[in-house]
């Protein structure tokens, strides 16, 4: 049997003449054959920096040129990138006040009584304008304190 060199690792090995005639006998093992056939490259995940292999087709067709190790990392990026007016289903943003506080990591505690029970917390607009959903106009309050603010003029 003829002795040939591996195309990838340059290790010498024996190949059957039949394999050589039919275009085989290029790699010393299936591991080298697998590595030699790969045309892509290893890229770091945009979110967690974990390195993963991406085929050439995926590298060419990426619109954002950002690569992810898993669907969960891709979803984290997408949920932070396509929010508000950038989202495909955006309508008007009049009811987006809870998500404004959540995205800005405002702790969910009542501003007046310091209750942390998320089941009874609501968002209060300081200037009483529901269309003004800026962060400095919004505050977490419990339902009881919210009633006191609107009906007994308690100041937040």
In the chain, the number of structural domains is 3
User: Any idea what DSSP says for residue 131?
Assistant: T
Residue 30 sits in the same domain as residue 45: no
User: Predicted confidence band at 145 (pLDDT cuts at 50, 70, 90)?
Assistant: very high
- Mean pLDDT in residue range 6-35: 90
pTM for the predicted model, two decimal places: 0.56
Tell me the average pLDDT of the chain: 92
The answer to the question of residue 85 being in a domain is: no
The answer to the question of residue 22 being in a domain is: yes
The string of pLDDT tens digits covering residues 72-115 is 999 999 988 998 888 888 888 888 888 899 989 999 999 999 99
26-35, 39-48, 144-153: the lowest-pLDDT one: 26-35
List the domain range (segments joined by +) for residue 70: 41-74
Residue 113 sits in the same domain as residue 141: yes
Residue 21 sits in the same domain as residue 49: no
In a 3-state reduction of DSSP, which class is residue 148? Answer: helix
What are φ and ψ of residue 23, in 5° steps? 90, 5
Please answer whether residues 115 and 106 qualify as being in contact, where contact means their C-beta atoms are separated by less than 8 angstroms.
no
Task: Give the residue among 50, 89, 82, 84 at the shortest CA–CA distance from 67.
Answer: 50
Residue 125 sits in the same domain as residue 146: yes
Query: Taking 80 as the threshold, does the pLDDT of residue 1 lie above it?
Result: no
In a 3-state reduction of DSSP, which class is residue 39? Answer: coil
Task: Give the residue among 5, 9, 59, 16 at the shortest CA–CA distance from 36.
Answer: 9
- Mean pLDDT in residue range 41-68: 94
């Amino acid at each position: 049997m003829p002795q040939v060199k591996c195309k990838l690792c340059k290790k010498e090995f024996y190949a059957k003449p039949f394999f050589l005639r039919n275009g085989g006998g290029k790699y010393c093992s299936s591991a080298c054959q697998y590595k030699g056939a790969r045309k892509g490259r290893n890229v770091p995940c945009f979110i967690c920096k974990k390195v993963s292999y991406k085929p050439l087709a995926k590298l060419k067709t990426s619109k954002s040129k950002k690569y992810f190790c898993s669907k969960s990392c891709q979803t984290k990026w997408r949920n932070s990138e396509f929010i508000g007016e950038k989202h495909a289903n955006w309508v008007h943003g009049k009811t987006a006040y809870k998500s404004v506080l959540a995205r800005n990591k405002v702790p969910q505690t009542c501003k007046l009584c310091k209750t942390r029970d998320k089941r009874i917390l609501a968002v209060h607009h300081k200037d009483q304008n529901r269309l003004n959903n800026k962060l400095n106009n919004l505050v977490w309050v419990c339902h009881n304190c919210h009633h006191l603010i609107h009906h007994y003029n308690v100041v937040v």
